[in-house]
Chains A and B, each alone.
Chain A
Amino acid sequence: MQNDFFSTDEFSARQKSGLQQAINHAFNNSPFYRRVFEQAGLEPADIKNPADFSRVPFTTKNDLREAYPYGMAAVPLDKILRIHASSGTTGKPIVAGYTRSDLDTWAIGVARICEMAGVSAKDIAQISFGYGLFTGGFGLHYGLEQLGATVVPFSSGNTERQLTLMQDFKTNVLVSTPSFAIYMAETARELGYNPREFGLRIGLFGGEPCSDALRKDIEAQWGLKATVNYGLTEVVGPGISGECLETAGMHILEDLYYPEVIDPDTGELLPDGEKGELVLTPMFKEGFPVLRYRTGDITRLIPEKCACGRTTRRMDYITGRSDDMIIIKGVNIFPSQVEEVLAGFKEVSPHYRLVLKKEKGFIKDLEIQIELTEEGFTDSYKELEALDGRIRQRLRSTLSLAPKVKLMEPKSLERTTGKAKRIVED
């Protein structure tokens, strides 16, 4: 795609007009941003070039949550063709609405990401992301169609059947979370297949972080080239950045999404190469525009040119979060969600700990350690197990994930005077 090879001047020109367009659209059509500008004493005319752009206030996850469901809309709802949503901290999801133009831009972006990863119109791609409100399934689906590849929209689950169809359909591209790719390879072996004989050529992985060890393991097990890509529903969905075959960072589609890296504590802009929180502005979003969205993801922009020849800047792999969100099996989890559930049980104390059970660098399971209170302890196993079961069930429906619950003695979890260490790795 030629846009990936623009000169620095071309990018600057595109970003200048793109940001202008984004600001004008938000100011003129989004009551939310009209308010933001007025409160900051800003007018679109004050922002003449990207250097002025840092005067625009950040948009946070909390802003989007409070705007539930349609508060971020900048077009009449009849122009919205599709709604997606991501899980939020308090049960209320973050909603994104797409116009026809938004869907087209999104699909073209995802197609570029797939092409960078080496996928072509000749390939047959199986999508094992869940389809639904989560942007992963539909995002990759339309992007791959846009590219001209053959799409097998399997969605998640039913691993044995996935494996059968992969062989029958001669699928050579797999789209999934990294952990699911490993799980499928293990299942294939249990069924007596050799995953390397499936003929998978390329993996497009996303939805959760992928460590080096995990990537090597996937490649060894399947005999494929593993690539990772990045995106988030609040900005558009998947297709914001992705790896080329050099697999040395993820090229950002800079002509569509304007990246900045800031110091998460002060909000100051950081120069390329320095690690901080990624801030993104989709420049051509009509439906639910966002300006300077604080992603919470810690990364850096890589200043060096990529060996592949593309001129889009790359972002490094996500090394952490500025908030305490964790991603497990593609599901976003905030400790505050756990806190809320526990507050509903008098049998346990509000002290808890999330233990991330890691295997080969990825989070395989979540264990939640909870302290019993005097009221919660009885001499009966049946009752303790029933309590365990009730807590687990509430957590499952709140988190959309089934954690393991471990009951502990009172005061057995470490107390600190400052910020409690709620999350530990095992």
Chain B
Amino acid sequence: MIKQISVFLENKSGRLIRVAQALGENDINIRGLSIADTSDFGILRMIVDQPDKAIEVLKGSGIMATVTEVIAMEVPDTPGGLAEVLTYMEEAGINIEYLYSFIEKPTTHAIIMMRVERINDALEVLKKNNVPIVGGDRIYSF
């Protein structure tokens, strides 16, 4: 499982910059991110190379952040690749809260970050269906 950093962002200018700067100044690299927003606030979800340090840095800067566990999996970078994996989840009755793609150097597979309600069951389902799970060693570093 991968440690994702979730940050609460008020819908106000300069909020995102503050987060990015705090991480940059502490040599923490952002490897992937996704932002979702409502009219009032947003949640920034990031994969960074040093999650534990990132949390420390953000909290120290007065930024509200928390760690969430997500699954990183490899999906064939072809039409229907994602649909197939989603079907496994659907059949197992596992609810997906959100997912987003993770940028990596071009290969034949795309990496998808996925947050689900029953994370251990989801891992089982993926293993059973031979969907490659990507570990922290590859996600956090180049």
Bound together, the chains give a CA A372 to CA B68 distance in angstroms of 18
A-B contact pairs, 24 of them (CB 8 A): A372-B8, A372-B64, A374-B64, A377-B64, A377-B66, A378-B66, A379-B43, A379-B45, A379-B68, A379-B115, A380-B97, A381-B38, A381-B43, A385-B38, A406-B41, A407-B40, A407-B41, A409-B8, A409-B10, A409-B15, A409-B63, A409-B64, A410-B62, A412-B10
Considering the complex, give the chain A residue whose CB is closest to the CB of B10.
A409
- A379 to B115 Cα, complex, angstroms: 10
B40 touches A411 (CB 8 A): no
Residue of A nearest to B11 (CB): A406
Number of interface residues of B (CB under 8 A): 19
Instruction: Please report the C-alpha to C-alpha distance between residue A379 and residue B8 in the assembled complex, in whole angstroms.
Output: 8
> A379 and B66: CB pair below 8 A?
yes
Contact A406 B40 (CB under 8 A): yes
- Chain B: which residue is nearest A407 at the CB level? B41
Binding site for A on B (CB under 8 A): 4, 6, 8-10, 15, 36, 38, 40-41, 43, 45, 62-64, 66, 68, 97, 115
A407-B8 Cα distance, complex, nearest whole Å: 10
Question: What is the count of residue pairs linking A and B with beta-carbon distances less than 8 angstroms?
Answer: 39
B10 with A408: CB separation less than 8 A:
yes
The residues of A that contact B62 with a CB separation of less than 8 Å are 410-411
Residue in contact with B36 in the complex, picked from A381, A408, A409, CB distance below 8 Å: A381
Chain A residues with CB under 8 Å of B68's CB are 379
- Interface centre among B43, B45, B115, by most A CB within 10 Å? B43
CB-based nearest B residue for A371: B64
With both beta carbons as reference points, the residue of chain A lying nearest to B41 in the complex is identified as A407
Binary interface profile of A, 178-202, with partner B (CB < 8 Å = 1, else 0)?
A: 0000000000000000000000000
Other A-B contacts than A374-B64, A409-B15, A411-B62, 12 sampled, CB-CB below 8 A, are: A372-B64, A377-B8, A379-B4, A379-B6, A379-B68, A381-B38, A384-B43, A406-B41, A407-B41, A408-B10, A410-B62, A410-B64
* Residues of B with C-beta under 8 A to A380: 97
Which residues in B have their C-beta under 8 angstroms from that of A384? Answer: 41, 43
Q: Within 8 Å CB of A408, what residues of B?
A: 10, 41
A381 to B35, CA, bound (A): 12
The CA of A118 and the CA of B9, in the complex, are separated in Å by 56
A408 and B62 CA atoms in complex are apart in Å by 13
Identify the interface centre among A381, A385, A409: most chain B CB within 10 Å of its CB: A409
Q: For residue A381, which residues in chain B have a CB less than 8 angstroms away from its CB?
A: 36, 38, 43
The distance in angstroms between the C-alpha atoms of A202 and B6, with both chains bound, is 58
**Cα A404 to Cα B105 with chains together (Å):** 45
* Cβ < 8 Å to B, chain A residues 379-426: 379-382, 384-385, 406-412
Minimum Cβ distance to chain B for residue A346 (Å): 15
Report A405 CB to chain B, min CB distance, Å. 9
Chain A residues near B8: list those with CB within 8 A: 372, 377, 407, 409
Q: How far is the CA of A351 from the CA of B128 in the complex (A)?
A: 50
Q: Within the assembled complex, what's the spacing in Å between the Cα atoms of A409 and B16? A: 13
Kindly provide the distance from the CB of A255 to the nearest chain B CB, expressed in whole angstroms. 53
